[in-house]
Each structure stands twice: as C-alpha cells, then as structure tokens.
Structure 1
C-alpha cells in the first residue's frame, strides 16, 4: 500500500474530521478557502479514493455522499505495517522506530501491548 498523494491526504483529513457523510461540495467549499482548487479536482480525487477502497459513497439525487471506510488510525497502522514489511530486518526497523518515540508514546505502546497480551491470554 502506498501512502496518499498530497491532495488525497488533505481530502481524507477533512473526511476523518467530520462525523458522518460528506459531499464533494462541502469538501470543495472548505478547501477553496485555503487554496485555489476546482470543484472537478475535488470530485475526481474523492472518486479515486472511492475506487481505491478508502471511501464509501451513496447517491443523493445527482450528487454522492462520501464517508471513510477506514479510520485514520487504521490507515496509520497500515503504513506502519508496510514500513515493517519493506524495511529490511524487522527487528532493526522496530529498534530505529523505538529510538525515535517519546516517553509518552513509549508508555502508550507498552499499555497497548499489555492489553493485547492479556486479550490473547484469555482466548
């Protein structure tokens, strides 16, 4: 899996920040306040994200409403998985990653591992 392109990332960020369904028009109106962009560019980007499986959509009259298929956290986890798979020795990749995280992130990771371990022990 590749990461999103620049505009795809901006669009996904908008959709993840919203609760529920969003139209192309709503995303376009937000984006055009910060950059010069065409409605058709936003529409094509959202259609591409739909075809790639990142967005679901439902027709409402002539327009579609879109919503994310995966959460921001699921996307980040997929990127991390890809980095682990494509980076050579997984042990070294993890070591380099762990050297870069903060104490707070380290504590969060420990908690997640403990939770996962206790869940697996129950099964």
Structure 2
C-alpha cells in the first residue's frame, strides 16, 4: 500500500503555489499601482520578472477580472491594455461576500470566521461594526 499523497493534496502544501484568488489580487494591485493601463506582458513582467509565470495564465486571469468588472480593458493594436476599476481590498471583499452568500447559515459561517481572527483583526472588526450602528 502506497503512502504517497495524491497530486492534488501534495500540491496544496506546495509553498510556491498561490492561494485561491491570490494571483487575481496581485494582478489588481499591480494595475492599481501602475501609471496607466498595462498589457498582459507588462503585468507578467511585474508579477514575475524571472519568467516562471506563463503569459496565458496572466491573460486568463485578466480576462476573468474583466468579466467580473474588476478591471477595464481597451484595444491597443492587436492586444488589450488593462486598468484597475477596483483595488485589491474591494476584490477580496467581493470574494468574501460571494462565499458567504453561497452558504444558507450565515450565522454559523460568520461565527466561525470571527473565531479564526487574531486579536488585532477582531478589534478592527469590532471598531468597524461600531461605526455602523443598527438602524
């Protein structure tokens, strides 16, 4: 009997592997910080100057972000140039909202989420909730 893990389990512990949504967040951050819209090649060069990230991965990520309304794009010759519509924090917040909306028991999800926060983040959340009193 083999004790090796299936490839999918082994890959999830790979420190070089990005977390879900991490590449999108990195791409949006690059676009926010850029002086103007960037081509996929320019995004790739800023993301990974060593060239380990494929051009097609960047194009796919930018296309998904465009479909979500997180980036804009404009034709530039045969290619597109992309610009940020929202910042990375808005993208992560939207992802969190979608995940919460997918679960019927919001109370349990939120309780468990708050339970995983460190003291600093829990205090930030309490402060933010205090700024929005019940109406």
Normalising to structure 1: TM-score of the pair?
Answer: 0.68
Q: 1:47-86 counterparts in 2 under 5 A?
A: 47-86=63-102
Structure 1 residue 15 and structure 2 residue 28: aligned? yes
- SS of the equivalent of 1:67 reads strand
CA distance in 2, matches of 1:29, 1:41: 13
CA distance in 2, matches of 1:105, 1:7: 21
| Residue 25 of structure 1: aligned partner | 41
For structure 1, the residue ranges without an aligned partner over 5 or more in a row are none
Tell me how large the CA RMSD over aligned residues is.
3.0
- SS of the equivalent of 2:104 reads coil
- SS of the equivalent of 1:42 reads helix
Normalising to structure 2: TM-score of the pair?
Answer: 0.64
CA distance in 2, matches of 1:10, 1:97: 23
Say if 2:28 and 2:87, in contact at 8 Å, map to a contact too: no
Deviation at residue 23 of structure 1 after TM alignment: 1.8
| Residue 89 of structure 1: aligned partner | 105
For structure 2, the residue ranges without an aligned partner over 5 or more in a row are 1-17
Q: How many aligned residue pairs are there?
A: 115
Say if 1:50 and 1:57, in contact at 8 Å, map to a contact too: yes
